[in-house]
Chain A
Amino acid sequence: MSTQEQKPKNQTDTDTESADEDIIAGSSPQQRRLREKRGKEIPTPEEKAQSEDSIHLKVFRYDPEVEGKQEPRFDDFHVPYYKGMTVLDALIHARDHFDSSLTFRHSCRQAICGSDAMFVNGRQRLCCKTQLSDLEEPVRVEPLPHQEVIKDLVVDMEHFYDQMEAVEPYFQTNDLPDGELDEQRQSRENREKVKMSTRCIWCGACMSSCNIAAGDNEYLGPAAINKAYRFAMDEREGTDMKEHRMRILEQEHGVWRCQTQFSCTEVCPKDIPLTAHIQELKREAVKNNLKFW
C-alpha cells in the first residue's frame, strides 16, 4: 500500500462524529455566497430540512491542502428529493448547488465504470446504483474504508490496481489458430462458467469490505483472485497455463488467506459470486497438489 503518511486511513469508526453538530449546514463561505447570489431560487438548507421532500446527507470531508479541512469531518447537506433519486444524484446536487469543492469520482451513472463505490450507511455500494428511498436518513456517505483518502470521498486505488496486476490479468495461450480470421472456439458452457467472473468493474468494494485484506496488505484479495479465476477456468488457455495460474493463486497471500466470510460477495454490485470462485480455486489447488504428490 502506498505510504503517504499525511493521509488519514479512513476507519469506519471515525472519531469525528462528535464534531458533526458543530458544522451548521450551509454555513461554509461558498454556500453563503451562492445563496446570496442566487437569492430565492434555492431554498436554504434549513428551509429544505423542513420540507418533506428533502433528504439529509452527512458527507465525509477531508482535504490535506485546505486549512480547515485537514481534520476529517462530516458536512450536512439537505438536498431536494425526487422519486428515483440516487445517492450519486444527491451528491451531484450538493456539489453543484451548495459546495463546488465537494469531491468524488463518478462518470457513467450506470454501474459500469466502477468509479463511485463508497461507504454509504455503513456498507460499500455504488452510489449511482443506490436509491435514496432504500436508505435511512440521515444518509452517511464516506470513502471506501481501508483505503487511503486523497480528498473527501476519493480514495487511492493504487494498491487495488497493483493486486489486480499481480495475477497476470491477461489471456495467455500457446495455441492460437493459424488464420487471422479463425476463432479459438469456446463452448457455450465454458463461456457460461466464466461469465460472472468477467463482469468485474474494478470498483474496489469487495477489497474494502474484506477483513483479511485489511489486515494483510499482500493478500491478493477477492477482485484479483476473481480475475485469475476468469482465466484459469477459461478452457482456451490450456493446462500448462492453468498450472501456472494456480501457482500464483496458491502462494502464501493467495486463495488460502480467504476465511469465507462472504463480505465481498455481499457487497459486489455486479453480483459476482466471489467467495464461491475463491472456494472453487481452493479445491483446484488441492487437486493440483494431489497430482504432484
Chain B
Amino acid sequence: MYEHDVIVVGAGGAGLRAAIAAQEEGADVAIVSKLHPVRSHTGAAEGGINAALRDGDSWEDHAYDTMKGSDYLGDAPAIETLCQDSPKETIQLEHWGMAFSRDDDGRVSQRPFGGLSFPRTTYAGAETGHQLLHTMYEQLVKRGIKVYDEWYVLNLAVSDEEVPEDRSCHGIVAYDIQSGEVSGFRARNGVILATGGPGQVYDHTTNAVANTGDGVAMAYRAGVPMEDMEFIQFHPTTLPSTGVLITEGVRGEGGILYNKNGERLMFEYGYANNAGELASRDVVSRAELTEINAGRGIDDEYVHLDMRHLGQERIIDRLENIVHLSEDFEGVDPLEEPMPVKPGQHYAMGGVETDENGETCISGLYAAGECACASVHGSNRLGGNALPELIVFGRRAGAHAAGKDLGTAKITTGKRGEWEAGEVDTPVAPGAVGGADEDAVADGGKAPDSGEPSDARRASSRAERSDGGAVATTGDEIVDRAVDAEHRRIDRLMNKDDGVQHAEIRSAVQKSMTRHVNVFREKEGLKQALRDLREARERYTDVYVDDPSRTYNTDLIQTIETRNILDLAEAITLGALARDEFRGAHWRKEHQERDDENWLKHTMLSWNDGSPELWYKPVILEGEEKTYEPKIRSY
C-alpha cells in the first residue's frame, strides 16, 4: 500500500493546482493519473481564462455576467469565489512564467468572449490550455511532487455507513497500467478528484478519448450526489468531421457565422440582435441547428465561420493554432476560405456536488475542475470560465484537504440542507441491473457480498463488515477491502472468455446520446435513450476483456471506463427528462419557457443501493452583498 497525506486523482489543470496548493500547506501529496500530466485534456483548451484584471472591470461584473450566463442556476457563493480569486490565480500563473500573449506595454492581453460585458479573457494565443498545463507541470517538477502516472484509478475507498453523509474516504484503489499491479493508496488527509469531463458519453465531442467521467462515476457510486447532470454544453464551433474545437476566440476577434445563403444568421434571423456571434454558447448552438434544420445549412450539416476579414497578421498573432487545426483536421485553410462548423458536446456543467471549498458530503473526499459541480456554471458555462475554475477551486480543494481552514462553506452538500424529493416517469427502471447485489462485473460500486476471499485477510475484513453493517474499520482496512473488491472485478473481467466487448456498448451509448440527448431534446427521445441505456447496461453484464495481458491492457481500462460512461449517460438523460422547462443549455421541445417558479433548483441524483434517487435542492442566489434577481436572458 502506498501512503500520502493528500492524494489527487488526475493531473489536468485542476489536479496540478490542487497538488501544488496541498504541498504549500505542508502536506505530503501525490498525484495518481491515468495519463502523464502533460497529456491531460486541459492542454487542448484554446481561448482563455476570465479574470477581472483591468481598470473598468471588477469581480462583481464578472460575477454578474456569470450568473446571467448560468441562467440563474449558479450558486452565488461559488460564483463570487470564482470571480474574486481568479485575478490572483491568473497572475500567479504569470508569476510562474506562463507565456501569455502580451500587449504593447508588456501586460498580459485580454480579449472579448461570449456573454462577457468586458473583454476579460486572458489568453496565450489560441493555446491557452497548453501553456497553462505545461506551466503548472513545471511547477510540479520544481517542487518534486510525486506523480504516479499511467495509473488508472479504479475506485475510492470509502467507509460504508448507511447514510452517505456519515461516510469518510480513506484512499483509492489504482491499477498500474504498465505492470498490471493493483494497489491501495491510503490518504491520511483527503482524496481530491480532478478527473475532468465526460465527453466520451457522446460521439461528436471536443473532448479527448480519456475523458470518460471516471471520477464522477466513482464518487456517485460511493454515495456523493451528482448535481445538474442534464446541463451539457454544446459548443457552436466544432469541426464537423472530428469534433475538434474552433475557439470562441475566433468570434471574440470578430469571426462571422454565415448560412448557406451567405446570410449573417445571428442577425438575419434575430437569434441575438445585440451580441450577434458573441451571444452565449447555448444561444449560438441552437441558432446554427435551427438554420440547418430549416434547410439553410451547408450540406445539411454545418454552417460557415469566416475570419478571413481579420487579416492574416491578426489571425497569426492571436489565432494561429486555429489555422493549423482547420488545415490538419478539416483540410480547410481558414486564411483562404471559411471554416465549416457545427455544435458538438464540449463541457459538463454538472458533476460531483461540492461546496465552494471543494469538499463533498463524504468527509475527506474533494473534487475540483470539470468533474466537480460547485455550481459556478449553472445551466450554461461562459467561455473562459472553466480554466479559472480549475485554478481557483483546484487551489481551494488542495489547501483545504491539506488542513487549511477556509472558513465555513455557505453551500451545503448532501441531503443535509433543504431538499425536496423528485420523481420522474421513466419507461424502464434505471440503475444497476439486478440491484445492489449484482456481481462486481456490472456494478463495480459496492463490494459484493458473495465471491471467494482469496486469503485470510480478506476473509477477516469481510467478517467484520457483515456483523454490524457500518463497522468502523480503520482507514487501512477500508482501503484493503476496496482493493479486494477491485481484484475480484478485474479477475472476473479477465477470466471470462466470451461475451460482449466494451467497444460495442460504448458506441451504442454514444450514438443514442448524440441522437436523443443533444442540443434539442424531446420527451420521447429522452425515453428512448433510457431504453437504449438499459439495454446497454444489460449487455454490460456480459462484458469481457479479450486481451489476456497484464501489460498495458487498454482493453481492460476501456471496459471499466465504459461502465462509468453508462452511469453518467443515464444521469444526464434522467435529469433531462425530469427537468420540464427550458433553461440555459437544456432545451425541451415540449417546454419552451424558463420556469423560475418550479425550477430554480438543482437536479440531484444519488446512488441508492444500486438505483438512482432523484431529488432537488434550491439555488442560492444570495451573494455576499446582493441577491441576484433572475432576469430574462437576452443578448
Chain A residues within 8 Å of B, Cβ to Cβ: 30, 33-34, 63-66, 84, 95-97, 100-101, 103-115, 129, 150-152, 154, 157, 161, 165, 168-171, 173, 176-177, 180-188, 191, 194-195, 198-199, 201-202, 231, 234, 236-237
Contact = CB atoms under 8 A, between A and B. Distances in A.
B404 interface: no
B550 A183 contact: no
A103 B101 contact: no
Contact of B551 (A150, A182, A187): A150
Interface string B198-213: 0000000000111000
B242 A100 contact: no
A201 B503 contact: no
B95 A184 contact: yes
Contacts of B40: 113
B551 A64 contact: yes
Contacts of B473: none
A181 B43 contact: no
Given A113-B208, A201-B43, A181 B91 contact: yes
A183 B41 contact: no
Nearest to B325: A110
Contacts, number: 160
Contacts of A63: 549, 551
A107 B53 CA distance: 34
B36 interface: yes
Contacts of A95: 503, 554
B548 A100 contact: no
A113 B106 contact: no
A92 to B, nearest CB: 8
Given A185-B107, A188-B104, A129 B328 contact: yes
A132 B125 CA distance: 30
Leading 7 A-B pairs by shortest Cβ distance: A171-B97, A185-B106, A101-B547, A170-B138, A96-B503, A170-B142, A113-B39
Contacts of B2: none
B102 A188 contact: yes
A172 B334 CA distance: 38
Contact of A236 (B97, B209, B501, B555): B97
Contacts of B88: 180-181
Given A101-B549, A181-B88, A110 B97 contact: no
B241 A84 contact: yes
B105 interface: yes
25 contacts: A34-B501, A63-B551, A84-B241, A97-B503, A107-B209, A108-B208, A108-B209, A111-B324, A112-B43, A113-B43, A115-B36, A165-B141, A171-B138, A176-B95, A180-B91, A180-B92, A184-B94, A184-B95, A191-B100, A191-B101, A198-B131, A198-B134, A201-B38, A202-B36, A237-B97
Interface string B495-515: 000100101000100000000
A191 B35 contact: no
Contacts of A195: 99, 125
B552 interface: yes
Nearest to B324: A111
Contacts of A173: 97
B384 to A, nearest CB: 18
Contacts of A165: 141
Interface residues of B, number: 67
A66 B553 CA distance: 12
A129 B321 CA distance: 14
Given A96-B503, A115-B36, A180-B88, 7 more contacts: A84-B331, A105-B39, A108-B209, A112-B43, A113-B44, A181-B91, A194-B99
A194 B97 CA distance: 12
Contact of A100 (B95, B547, B552): B547
B328 A111 contact: yes
A191 B106 CA distance: 9
Given A66-B549, A100-B546, A183-B108, A106 B209 contact: yes
A191 B92 contact: no
Nearest to B140: A170
Contacts of A114: 38-39
B269 interface: no
Contacts of A66: 548-549
Contact of A107 (B41, B130, B244, B555): B41
Contact of B39 (A65, A107, A154, A186): A107
B412 interface: no
Interface string B307-331: 0000000000000000011001111
Contacts of A103: 547, 552-554
Given A150-B178, A183-B91, A199 B552 contact: no
B106 A187 contact: yes
B277 interface: no
Contacts of B242: 109-110
B398 interface: no
Contact of A109 (B106, B208, B507, B545): B208
Given A157-B36, A185-B106, A199 B210 contact: no
Contacts of A234: 97
B80 interface: no
Interface in B561-605: none
